[in-house]
Structure 1
Amino acid sequence: MTKTFLTLDRVTCVLPDGRTLFSDLSETFNERRTGLVGRNGVGKSVLARILAGTDEPTAGRCVRNGTVHYLAQRVADDGDLSVAALAGVGDIVAALDRIEAGSSDPRDFDIVGDRWTLRERLRDALEAEGLAHVDPAGGAATLSGGEAMRVALLGARLYGAGYLILDEPTNHLDAGGRDALRQWLHAWPGGLLVISHDRELLAAMERIVELTPAGLRIYGGNYGFYEAARREEREAAQRALDASRIERKRGELALREQQERQVRRQARGRREAGDANLPRIMLGGRKHRSETTTGKLSRRHDAARERLAEKVTDAARRVDGEVPPALLVPEAGRVTGRRVALLEDVTLPYVRDGARTVDLILRGGQRVGVTGPNGCGKSTLLRVLAGRAAPLSGRASLPARTAWLDQRLSTLDPARPLIAQMRESAPAAGDDAIRLRLALLGLDADKVTMPAGNLSGGERLKAALSHALVAEPPPQLLLLDEPGNHLDIASLDALETMLLQYEGTLVVVSHDAVFLDRLDLTDRLSPTAEGWRMQPW
C-alpha cells in the first residue's frame, strides 16, 4: 500500500498587512498520528490549510502524496449547507440528481466519475454511524455539534482519503461526542494531523509538533511526553541564563582586576621614568607605547564585555520566549456562606423535559461545574443566572455583581477596539493598567486598538475574559460558558491558575474533563428527568 505523507519545503506565509506569520518551514508529516499545538495567533490554522491545499504559501511549496481530507473549525456554521455537502460529497450528489432528472451535461458526468453508488454509500455510512435518521438532503444546521462532526468525518472514508487534518475538532462537542470522536480516530487507518488544545485527545497522538514564531519544534511522543520535555527545556533555559549571568559577573570582575593592574603598572612606570631622569624623547616613546597598550586593552575589554552581555541576552531571550500568558485575578472578596443567587421554582425558556425546572441556591465561595449533553439547557441556565434571560415562571433573585462570558462572546462588540471597551468597563483603571493586563495575555498595542472582531478566535476569547474580569467593582459571581474553547494550552493553563485564585463564586460550563478536574470545584450541577441536581464534586 502506498504511504501517504505531506511535506513542507521552505514554506513561508506573509499576511496581507505585510506581517510574516511563519517562514522557512520544512517538515514531513507521515502516517504517525500528530498533534499540532502553538500559541493563539501563531498560524496553526493557516498552516493546516496550506498542508490541505486550500491555501497557497507565499513562498516554498507543500508536496502531497495521497488524498487529503480537511475539516476546518465549526464545520456546520453555514446555515445553507446540506448534510451531503457537510460530508464533502454535495457536488457529486447534486450532479447525480441532475443526471437522474435528464441532464446530459458532460460536466455532471465528470463530477460523478465512477462514483455512481455514492448516494447509497452515504446513506449506509450514516446508518453505520447511528445517524439513520439524518436526511442527506437535509440542512446541516439541524444537526447537533457531535452529529455534525461525525457527518463531516464520513467524507474522509467516502472519498478514500489517505490523510486527515482536523482543526479543533472537539470544540463545542459534549463528553459523549468527544468520546465518539476519539473512538472514530482510533479506528482511522490513514495519516492524521490534529490541531487541538484538548489534552485527552492529544494524549492519543504519537508525536507533538509545536508551531512557534521561530519555526517548528518536534517532540516524538504524546502530550504527556511533550509536557515533560517542555518543562525540562524551560528549566534548562533558566539554568543557562543563571550560568551566563554568573559568567558575566566573574568576567566583569576579572576585567576590572586586569584594568587595575594595568593602571598600577602605568603609575609605576611613570615613577621609575621620573627617577631615572630619562630624556624627553624617550619618555614620550614610553608614554605612547603605554597609551597604545591601554587602548588595545580597553578595546579587548569592551569586546569581552559585549560577548558576555550577548550570552546573557541570548539566554534571557530563550527564557523570555517561554513566559506564559497571565490573567489577573479580580479582587472579588470571599464572603463564605452569603447567598449570591437564588432560582426558586424557575422554568427555563427554550429547554425541554425535566431540565426546564430548576431550584438553585448559590453561596459565596461555592465553585460549581455544570455538566450534561449538548442541548440540555446549560447555556440557558447561565443566561438566567446572569440576568440576560427571564425565566418563564418562578422567582430569580440575583443580588451579586456578576460577570458572564457566553460561547458567542456577545459581551464584546466586534466592531469596536478592545481598549475602548475596556475603558468603559473600568473607567478608573487608566490606560497603562489596562494595556498591562492585555499585554500579559499576549495582546500587544496593535491588537488592542484594532476592532475586536479582527482578532483570532483564541485572542477574542482572552480579550472577552479580560473585559469581563476588569469590571469595577469586581464581580462576586463569575459565570463561564465553555471558556476553554479556542484557547491554546498555555492560555488554558493561565485560565486555570486564575480561577484557582478567584475567591468569589464560580459557575463554569465545560465538556473538558481535565480542565474541570483542575479547578478545585466544590459541586457538580447536572440535569435529570426531575430537574437540575446539585451534588458534591
Structure 2
Amino acid sequence: MTNSYLTLEGVSYVLPDGRTLFSDLNEQFDARPTGLVGRNGAGKSVLARVLSGQVSPTTGRCARLGTVYYLAQQIAPRAGATVADLANVRDTLDALARVEAGSTAPEDFDAVGERWDVRRQLDSELTRHGLAHLDAATPASELSGGEVMRVSLIGALLSAADFLILDEPTNHLDRDARSALIEQLRQWPRGLLIVSHDRRLLEHMTRIVELSPLGLQSYGGGYRFYAQCKAEERANALQTLEQRKLERDREARSLREQQERLARRQARGNRHGHEANQAKILLGRQKERSEGSAGKLRAQHAQTREALNARVHEAAQQVEDEASIVMRASALAGTSTAARRRVAQLDAVSLPHVPPATRHIDLTLTGQQRVGVIGPNGCGKSTLLKVLAGTIAPEGGVCDVPVQCLYLDQGLANLSPERPVLDQLMEVNRTQTQGELRTRLAQLGLDAQTIMAPSGTLSGGERLKAALACAFYADQPAQLLLLDEPSNHLDLPSRQALETLLRSYSGALVVVSHDDAFLEALGLTHHLAATENGWGMDACQPST
C-alpha cells in the first residue's frame, strides 16, 4: 500500500502525574521518509507509540491507513527469547514448521500468510549483515547490544509493513552497521518515521518534524536544511524579543514622563489656588479632579505595562531554551598541558578479552592531542580506554599515565547516583566557595534544583555535564580525558553543547564514538582505528 499515512487530530497526552507532555497536535505523516526530533523529555517516544497504536492519546485521535511496525528504542528480550523473537518471526516460523509437519489448521496457514520463504529470508539477511553465526534458534541472551538491535532491525525490514516507526535505531550500532542501515532505509519503498538524534541518518530524510513545547513544526529537507532553518528562526526570534524589550523600555520612559508632567501640573495648580486665596470648596473640587485624572492615568499605564509585558513574554516563548554552555578560559586553565609533554605511554601492551587482530598495541599520547577512536563493535575500543584509565590491567606490557586522568564510561560510573552533584563537586574542589561552585555549575546549564537532586535521578545529558564539571573544576583538573560514547542518548542541542564544551578543553582527549558528525565537531588531531591489521594512528586533515 503506497498511499499509507498516519494522521494526528488534536492529539494530547497527559502523564500519570498530571503533567501535559504535549497537546493539540495536528500533523500527517505520509510516505515521505521523515525524521522526528526534539529535546529529551519532549515526548518523542510517547508520540511514536501513539502513532503506532501502542498507547492511546489522552484526547484527540490518531488515524492510520495501512499496517504499522514499531521498533522501540530500548529492546529488552524476555527470558528464553531467540533471534526469531527479536526479528518478530517466531509465530510465523512455528506455524510454518507445523504446516511442513502436516498441519492443515486454518490458523497455521493464516499465520504464514504469504511468507512461505521467511526462514530463507531471515538466514539470508543475517548473513548479509555479518551475523551468519546466528540462526533463528540462537538465544537472545547470547547477543551483544549491537547484535540485538541489528537483528531487531532485520525483523522490521522483513515485515513488509506499510509504515515503519523506528525509535533511535542507530543506538549501539558501529559505523559500518550505521552505514548499512542508512542504505537499507534509503531503499525502503513505503512510509517511514525515524525518531533520532543521529545527524548523519537525519540528513537522508526527506523532511524533519520537530516536537517542542510549541507543538509540531515541519521542515522540508534533511538535517542540514533543518539546522539552517532553526538558526534563522532563532535569530529572528531573538531580534523580535529585543525589539519588544526596547518597545517596553521606551513606553516605560514615556509613561514616567507623563506621570512627572501630571505631577508638576498638579503642584502648579495647588500653588496657584493657594496664592489666589480660592475658597476651600473650590480647592477641594480641583484636587478631586486632579486625583481622578491621576487615577485614570495610572490605570491606563498599568494596562499598557501589562500588554507590553505580555508581548515580551510571547516573544520570549518563541526563543527556545538552548543547552548553551558558558565557560571562561580561566576555568579550564589547569587542564592545559605542554604540546610535547607525554601524557600516556603503552609499550607492548596486550589488551584482555580482545580479538587477536587488535589485542596488541603500542601508543604514545602527548599533551593537546585529540584522538578519536574508531572501529567495529567488539574490537577493544572500550577496553583500551579502561587500560589507559587504570580500571583494568593489561595482560602484558607497560601502561604509564603520568598526568591526572578522568575516564567516563557509558554509564558514568564515577558519579555516585545517590549523592547530589554539588556535594560531589565540593569533594574534589576545596578551594572555592559553594556559591562559586554553584555559578560554575549554572554555566553548564545545571540549575539550583538539579544540583541538589541525587545525580542518579538526572537525565543522561545532565549527568554527563555533572561528571565533566567534576573533571574540569577539580582542584587538580584532568589533563587527560577518556570518553566512551559520550553522545549516546543526548538530544541534538545537548550534543552540540557537549561539542562546544569539549572544544574548550585544552588537555589531551581520547574519545570513542560511532557518531561521525560528533567526532568531526571536536577538532580532532588524530584518528586511532581498529582494523583487521591491528591499530593504526592517522593525523586528521585540518577543517576548511
Q: Provide the TM-score with structure 2 as the length reference.
A: 0.88
Residues 166-197 of structure 1, C-alpha deviations (whole Å, 9 max, x = no match)? 11122222221121111101100111111212
Specify the alignment match of 1:270 in structure 2.
270
Specify the alignment match of 2:512 in structure 1.
509
SS at match of 2:41: coil
SS at match of 1:209: strand
> What is the one-letter code of the residue matched to 2:89?
V
More moved, 335-344 vs 56-65: 56-65
Query: How is 1:320-359 mapped onto 2 (pairs within 5 angstroms)?
Result: 321-326=320-325, 330=332, 331-359=334-362
Query: How is 1:258-297 mapped onto 2 (pairs within 5 angstroms)?
Result: 258-274=258-274, 276-297=276-297
Identical columns (%): 54
Correspondence 1:383 to 2:386 = yes
Residues 58-85 of structure 1, C-alpha deviations (whole Å, 9 max, x = no match)? 3333222111112222547667432211
Correspondence 1:406 to 2:409 = yes
Tell me, which stretches of 5 or more residues in structure 2 are unaligned? Answer: none
Specify the alignment match of 2:222 in structure 1.
222
Correspondence 1:200 to 2:200 = yes
Counterpart CA distance in 2 for 1:196 and 1:27 is 18
Specify the alignment match of 1:178 in structure 2.
178
1:265/1:469 CA distance change after superposition, 3 Å: closer
Counterpart CA distance in 2 for 1:275 and 1:412 is 79
Specify the alignment match of 1:252 in structure 2.
252
Residues 358-391 of structure 1, C-alpha deviations (whole Å, 9 max, x = no match)? 1111111111111222222111111100101111
Counterpart CA distance in 2 for 1:534 and 1:92 is 48
1:501/1:39 CA distance change after superposition, 3 Å: same
Q: What is the count of residue pairs matched by the alignment?
A: 536
Quick check: 1:327–1:495 contact (8 Å CA) kept in 2?
Answer: no
Quick check: 2:2–2:162 contact (8 Å CA) kept in 1?
Answer: no
Quick check: 1:346–1:358 contact (8 Å CA) kept in 2?
Answer: yes
Specify the alignment match of 1:486 in structure 2.
489
Cα RMSD of the aligned pairs, angstroms, is 3.1
Residues 345-366 of structure 1, C-alpha deviations (whole Å, 9 max, x = no match)? 1111111223111111111111
Counterpart CA distance in 1 for 2:223 and 2:325 is 22
1:392/1:20 CA distance change after superposition, 3 Å: same
Quick check: 2:2–2:31 contact (8 Å CA) kept in 1?
Answer: no
Tell me, which stretches of 5 or more residues in structure 1 are unaligned? Answer: none
Counterpart CA distance in 2 for 1:347 and 1:223 is 41
Structure 1 residue 130: Cα displacement? 6.0
1:411/1:120 CA distance change after superposition, 3 Å: same
Structure 1 residue 414: Cα displacement? 4.9
More moved, 364-373 vs 384-393: 364-373
Structure 1 residue 499: Cα displacement? 1.0
1:7/1:527 CA distance change after superposition, 3 Å: same
Counterpart CA distance in 2 for 1:100 and 1:429 is 75
Quick check: 2:464–2:486 contact (8 Å CA) kept in 1?
Answer: yes
1:53/1:456 CA distance change after superposition, 3 Å: farther
Counterpart CA distance in 1 for 2:107 and 2:509 is 58
Residues 153-173 of structure 1, C-alpha deviations (whole Å, 9 max, x = no match)? 332343320111111122222
Correspondence 1:522 to 2:522 = no
Residues 85-107 of structure 1, C-alpha deviations (whole Å, 9 max, x = no match)? 12121232234446666889886
> What is the one-letter code of the residue matched to 2:139?
G
More moved, 375-384 vs 294-303: 294-303
Correspondence 1:499 to 2:502 = yes
Quick check: 1:404–1:468 contact (8 Å CA) kept in 2?
Answer: no
1:247/1:518 CA distance change after superposition, 3 Å: same
Structure 1 residue 343: Cα displacement? 0.8
Quick check: 2:149–2:172 contact (8 Å CA) kept in 1?
Answer: no
More moved, 486-495 vs 89-98: 89-98
SS at match of 2:233: helix
SS at match of 1:485: coil
Counterpart CA distance in 1 for 2:390 and 2:79 is 29
More moved, 294-303 vs 379-388: 294-303
Specify the alignment match of 2:84 in structure 1.
84
SS at match of 2:488: coil
Counterpart CA distance in 2 for 1:534 and 1:129 is 27
Q: Provide the TM-score with structure 1 as the length reference.
A: 0.89
Query: How is 1:452-471 mapped onto 2 (pairs within 5 angstroms)?
Result: 452-466=455-469, 468-471=471-474
More moved, 206-215 vs 467-476: 467-476
Residues 435-488 of structure 1, C-alpha deviations (whole Å, 9 max, x = no match)? 555555555566556655554554554454445555442111100111111111
> What is the one-letter code of the residue matched to 1:362?
L
Counterpart CA distance in 2 for 1:430 and 1:54 is 50
SS at match of 1:498: helix
SS at match of 1:241: helix
